[in-house]
Structure 1
């Protein structure tokens, strides 16, 4: 049986005072998952906004990916499947996220 879906990821970037913040939002039509990332320019470095955007966006996508994998692990456990051993953690654990 063939099944096709379209999932959308929106990426939002904000740069202020040498810090770039990124938010990646996955919307699959049923639920949304959000990841976040941040990049800060070292005061001794030349400020190149494109580099901060790339770093913050990559970190937000990595955080989003880790959250999606944790959701899949929870769903596997809920249906009685045994998930793989714990994955290497990426991004912030849910209870240790920095303030926005």
Structure 2
């Protein structure tokens, strides 16, 4: 049977003039709630373009979230098989 599923990702930002912090959150029935964090810092010699800091911090938070989701899947495989699992991207 083919099933359609929906997972919701949200990214929250906290920023000042030179720093952007992002937290990516995933709500998924199977995985529960997972969080990933990322940050960006503007080089003092660069002009301020907040969108770039948002993109970089969000990308880093999503990479962190992806790593945590992969670890959760690895733990699930180990629990189901009773053998060590080493999942790769």
Aligned to 1:45: 46
Normalised by the length of structure 1, the TM-score is 0.78
Residue ranges of structure 1 left out of the alignment (5+ in a row): 89-100
Q: CA RMSD in A?
A: 1.8
| CA shift digits 1:20-48 (9 cap, x unpaired) | 01010000135100001000001111111
CA contact (8 A) 2:27 2:34 kept: yes
Ranges of 4+ aligned residues in structure 1 off by more than 6 Å: none
Map 1:49-88 onto structure 2 (within 5 A).
49-80=50-81, 82-84=84-86, 87=88
- Give the drift of 1:72: 0.4
Question: How many residues are paired up?
Answer: 87
Normalized per residue, the structure richer in strand is 2
Normalised by the length of structure 2, the TM-score is 0.87
